[in-house]
Structure 1
Amino acid sequence: MAPPEDVSEQEFDYEALPANYGLGPSMLAGAFAGIAEHSVMYPVDLMKTRMQILHPSSGGLYTGISNAFSTIYRAEGLATLWKGVSSVIIGAGPAHAVYFGTYEVVKELAGGNVDDGHHPVAAALSGSAATIASDALMNPFDVIKQRMQVHGSVHKSIAQCAKTLYRTEGLQAFYVSYPTTLCMTVPFTATQFVAYESISKIMNPKSQYDPMTHCIAGGLAGAVAAGLTTPLDVVKTLLQTRGLAKNEEIRSAKGLFNAAAIIKRQFGWAGFVRGMRPRIIATMPSTAICWTSYEMAKAYFKNNQKSME
């Protein structure tokens, strides 16, 4: 009779995917997670963008979440909260597929799957590599999304917005915020991945598939990372919406340091924390949804593979 299978091996099997598992399922799980995350929380993301825009002509300078919601609902209708969501859905699937595919590959190479111990360095490294790769794909879609989110936007579709943006501001408009995005998302993702894996190890030391653990750990990790990186997110929003500003200084913003100097000069230190509350409110459930969806999809593919063996 064959010896009983070691329980610790079963538990570890879930977190550390075997060599024959393949990259495809991880990418499919990531795409599913990305679409679920961004679609559900999109209205809050739109309000965050509106609150961060520092030029009133484009619907900026709301006093809070409730003010933003009531103003948008009263003046533009409830459907406005979903304007531009198609850009996120189209971009989030491939971008998150690359994101989690890169995460799994780099985590394996960095030794994060060597045993069932805690590997914060491997988590931070794999998270950073994942965001660099995925943001290169997602940045143009994020620019289009924010251009469609602003008050009074005339863009009706992704294609029309992309063509107009390319014709009036050139190809650089799609990537002018990319360095700033990386300056924000690399520490955001590194912090989030370390926090997620650390909280998961505390809540679920046996590394079993547990949706509640993934949900809580993902939400808390996202909240911490979102709060710390809000100033860079404000700078990114200014760069991505600069073409809509009537203020000439904002329209001519060149990059991270120039945009930060403009914010400090025109709005003071308070300008760097605009939209922090909706950013945290949006990020907590979105990262909870993302990690829960990803772990669920990963567990599904793993169980499906076992049933076929």
Structure 2
Amino acid sequence: MKLIKTMSSEERESLSVPEDVDFRITATQQALASCTGAVLTSLLVTPLDVVKIRLQAQQKNTPKCYLYCNGLMDHFCGCKPQDLQRQWYARPGHFSGTMDAFYKITKTEGISSLWSGLSPTLVLAIPATIIYFVAYEQMRLKLKHRYNIANPGTSGQPFWIPMFSGGTARIFSVTIVSPLELIRTKMQSQKLSYYEIRRALKMLIKQDGIGALWMGVIPTLCRDVPFSAIYWTNYETFKKLFWTSNQPSFSKSFISGGLAGMVAATITTPFDVIKTHQQIQLGEKTLYGGKSKTMVGSFYDTFWEIRKSHGVRGLFAGLFPRVIKVAPSCAIMISSFEYGKIFFNRLARKNHVANISTKKDLMN
């Protein structure tokens, strides 16, 4: 790496080493970098959500379903009353608050209980994160390349490129993963075999059409697309402020990602509140079918219902816990991704220089 930095532009051209300030890597390497970030984020954030779910569960005698979120994505799970004492989310406990829950769960059930429910989260978090980050990076670089060609003499990128790329990448991710989420939820809640789930899906498609596989995708998009657009726009802005050079930095990426996540989480909290109401309703309807009388209202109807019942403050319910979970999740995820770009870029350049040196030796 030091060898390349000390070379002149003429020497770089002679060795055919691209002067790539963006630390571009292949799509496969981007997938590996984002996968690492997804696992790290899930491991570090899951205890916060386990505590949240346990605190919520003790307020209800027979919860029908709950939301599980690791900061990257969320999904709903069903609760069967007859299994309550055997399920991790309904174990007995009288917690007065978050810290009290952390202490009592660790003391009475062991520290491993703080990572209950991690496996089903990773099943969807990893593919969703890979699709999201790879789609964003590929789209951003292509749009930036075309912009620089159309505007000679410019090397940066306008704000609309990360905004558009982030929103579009989230649409791809949510749309692709949504049917998998429905299948996983069905299997988890009703203990169905693969043969039974195939029959259930055939019946669902026959009754409601192919669009039934994307049930609930609209409220998810209504929250996640604005969040992604705001997040990536702010992240690229903070990068320019904190980075003294074009080379990515783990610590500066961490700070930029955390601040961008904080801003995006704050602005989109009303979307999150509405989406949570709709997803819980959808969860009861999906998991229990005709047994549930729950009707899923439209985004507009849910907005005015919350506004009428709880006022403007109701639309920002849970702002603080959302921010303190989303901000570190974003920081860990993006800094891991940027470090992966550094690692693979250095490896590629090192191999490239080694290959050039070998060719020169053979020629001599």
Q: 1:272 aligns with which of 315, 325, 335?
A: 315
CA distance in 2, matches of 1:262, 1:81: 35
Q: Give the 3 Å change call, closer, same or farther, for CA 100–286 of structure 1 in structure 2.
A: same
Aligned-pair CA distance for 1:271: 3.1
Amino acid at match of 1:31: C
Paired position in structure 2 for 1:185: 224
Q: Give the 3 Å change call, closer, same or farther, for CA 235–51 of structure 1 in structure 2.
A: farther
Larger radius of gyration: 2
CA distance in 1, matches of 2:96, 2:271: 20
Amino acid at match of 2:46: Y
Paired position in structure 1 for 2:78: none
CA distance in 1, matches of 2:103, 2:284: 23
- Structure 1 unaligned regions, length at least 5: 149-153
Question: Is 2:36 the partner of 1:13?
Answer: no
Q: Is the 8 A contact 2:23 2:341 kept in 1?
A: no
CA distance in 2, matches of 1:79, 1:158: 27
Amino acid at match of 1:307: K
Aligned-pair CA distance for 1:3: 6.3
Deviations 1:6-58 (A, max 9, x none): 8xx999724252xxx432211222222222223311222345567899x9453
Q: 1:278-293 to 2 correspondence within 5 Å?
A: 278-293=321-336
CA distance in 2, matches of 1:208, 1:116: 15
Deviations 1:226-253 (A, max 9, x none): 111112112222222224499x998212
Question: Is 2:74 the partner of 1:41?
Answer: no
Q: 1:210 aligns with which of 245, 249, 252?
A: 249
Q: Give the 3 Å change call, closer, same or farther, for CA 264–108 of structure 1 in structure 2.
A: same
Q: Cα RMSD (Å) of the superposition?
A: 4.2
CA distance in 2, matches of 1:282, 1:226: 9
Deviations 1:182-230 (A, max 9, x none): 1111111111111111111011142212111100000000011011111
Q: Which moved more, 1:36-45 or 1:226-235?
A: 36-45
Paired position in structure 2 for 1:109: 142
Paired position in structure 2 for 1:223: 262
Report SS of the residue matched to 2:43. Answer: helix
Question: Is 2:274 the partner of 1:235?
Answer: yes
Deviations 1:162-184 (A, max 9, x none): 96xx68x9577864331111111
Question: Is 2:176 the partner of 1:137?
Answer: yes
- Structure 2 unaligned regions, length at least 5: 1-5, 67-94, 149-153, 206-210, 353-364
Paired position in structure 2 for 1:196: 235
Q: Is the 8 A contact 1:42 1:81 kept in 2?
A: yes
Report SS of the residue matched to 2:248. Answer: coil
CA distance in 2, matches of 1:26, 1:116: 22
Q: Which moved more, 1:105-114 or 1:70-79?
A: 70-79
Q: 1:119 aligns with which of 151, 158, 176?
A: 158
Q: Is the 8 A contact 1:139 1:178 kept in 2?
A: yes
Q: Is the 8 A contact 1:143 1:240 kept in 2?
A: no
Q: Give the 3 Å change call, closer, same or farther, for CA 189–45 of structure 1 in structure 2.
A: farther
Deviations 1:231-280 (A, max 9, x none): 2112222222224499x998212432233344345444443222221111
Q: Give the 3 Å change call, closer, same or farther, for CA 157–36 of structure 1 in structure 2.
A: farther
